Structure 1
């Protein structure tokens, strides 16, 4: 089937799903977005606006956007991109199963390392591909989605099936590639995602956060601990962009003048970028902490190891979730004390 004839669907049209889906729509690809009523109302009033750190800025009118709150709207789609939160994967794809004919393609574009396994266990007659989204997208109401970091989408290499998806994404102007080892890629992404929670606790933009050596020391400590757990568990994380997971803690620990010079060559971050976990806290939503830092804690326990830093991060986020009120805005100095890490100065 030619790419122009493909019918795409987005299951879980929040920040990532809507950003990707809007690009598909702009390219003229038949795309249905399925998400919550909140966004449906915003699109009804404002259409859909997409911006990114490179200066891209486009608007889709209401008439251009096929948006639904019903999973049944995905019936007949050739390719469904799943972008729901990890905790909602099982419930969402169980509802998708009777809607999706056999032989269709489903791609997991979600945080965490196990979502594709869940999809395969339920959607037994679909072609399921693991996928990885490297960049950060923030939902700036009303119906404005801003991508604040660089990166390339990665999907699991499965011959013609994956290359058909790849063609659609590229036609939409999205950088994308395939990779044979998505498990390694997803574990590598998880290493970098360990910062999501720290950024959420700090309550400041990502660029401001990583410009502070104090915060970087905490991120580096969480990453070192995770890399140790992965090594002991015989899991090898793989990088897909400029910065590799195994060297990230060293680079993050560099003095500011060196770090900023090195990091600027590897990743671009604009002043608006914040972690999705920060946004979840601000909106009073349950975060994905159990599927990120909590995943490291679970793996450590499974192998008789300890992961005290990631355990502490997980506990702090859950405490903030229960309390409500958004980010606690913890300073770098205060956070260093909480993790018993020596001051950056």
Structure 2
């Protein structure tokens, strides 16, 4: 397929590299500084399992021109939430109506916005469970595990997109899957505030308890709203807070079978803070806060975390390295 990655950032470059290596014709639509590095050095993808693959720049189409969408058989949107509306406009102007559009973005609002802005098209939400971090100007590293899930639909897209290193499955319950991912992704902000790696954070029972309390708060909101949640780990979603609260030794044994995380990995929000970029806090904690307000359920932890992230973003500081006691709201 001729695939346009609409928003060549960390997720887009990593997935685009594997899709190109798997035989698809891949166009990376992105910013000039990022594309220039790939033009000079090719695109390299690595991961925690030892993957190391370089795709020569000649095997990719690199462009800042949204006109490239005119030749797409499939569009994968991987921009940040704040850029989704502009990308939808570009797709409406240039992409064939017959080309499915996949949202490989955090939160649930992006696919909704794409459906609103692109009526009559095959718009499908997706869930990307893994974390990708930039290693240099042309290398992207997958630092955690999991397989991509997209909404079920015609055309066998999941099977067509599945290439070595990048399995893609389809689900009839994609919103439940997305809510399950959102509940897990609430830790992005905690990790950014901590200044720790994910492994360091998960190794500390105090941090895990705060993670569990925030997760339980979110699950309570979703239960009140009557929203189903599909787990993105082998255990049911409601079990995860209990697992996080276990003593260190027991947690380590169980978690080792559930999730692989690179020792140096941090959340994408931590990298956003360090780089002075806007975060996606409104699409994560913000979703729970809004839903809690609509159903009369208090969200003190999510509200506190969102306020701290907004403060750090406004001040232009890097990860503030707060303690659990500094983040947890007073009783």
The TM-score by the shorter chain falls in which range? over 0.9
Between stretches 224-233 and 39-48, larger displacement belongs to 39-48
Distance 2:140 2:165 in 1: 16
1:141, CA displacement in angstroms?
Answer: 1.9
1:61, CA displacement in angstroms?
Answer: 2.2
Between stretches 279-288 and 114-123, larger displacement belongs to 114-123
1:341, CA displacement in angstroms?
Answer: 7.3
1:336, CA displacement in angstroms?
Answer: 2.6
Between stretches 215-224 and 61-70, larger displacement belongs to 61-70
**Residue equivalent to 2:245:** 253
**Residue equivalent to 1:284:** 276
Whether 1:320 aligns to 2:312 is yes
Whether 1:179 aligns to 2:171 is yes
Whether 1:339 aligns to 2:331 is no
Q: Is the 8 A contact 1:152 1:241 kept in 2?
A: no
Q: 1:152 aligns with which of 147, 154, 168?
A: 147
**Residue equivalent to 1:269:** 261
C-alpha offsets along residues 75-96 of structure 1, whole Å, 9 cap, x if unaligned?
1101111111112211211122
**Residue equivalent to 1:225:** 217
**Residue equivalent to 2:29:** 34
Distance 2:166 2:181 in 1: 19
Q: Is the 8 A contact 1:110 1:133 kept in 2?
A: yes
1:340, CA displacement in angstroms?
Answer: 4.6
Q: Is the 8 A contact 2:212 2:241 kept in 1?
A: yes
Task: Compute the TM-score of the two structures, normalised by the length of structure 2.
Answer: 0.96
State the aligned residue count.
Answer: 331
RMSD: 1.4
Distance 2:21 2:211 in 1: 37
Q: 1:141 aligns with which of 136, 140, 144?
A: 136
Unmatched segments (≥5 aa) in structure 2: none
**Residue equivalent to 1:310:** 302
**Residue equivalent to 2:200:** 208
C-alpha offsets along residues 220-275 of structure 1, whole Å, 9 cap, x if unaligned?
11101001111111111111332432111100000100001001101111112211
1:171, CA displacement in angstroms?
Answer: 2.9
Q: Is the 8 A contact 2:159 2:169 kept in 1?
A: no
Task: Compute the TM-score of the two structures, normalised by the length of structure 1.
Answer: 0.93
**Counterpart of 1:246 in 2: which secondary structure?**
helix
Whether 1:196 aligns to 2:191 is no
Unmatched segments (≥5 aa) in structure 1: 1-5
Distance 1:299 1:305 in 2: 8
**Residue equivalent to 1:3:** none
**Residue equivalent to 1:89:** 84
Distance 1:32 1:225 in 2: 41
1:43, CA displacement in angstroms?
Answer: 1.2
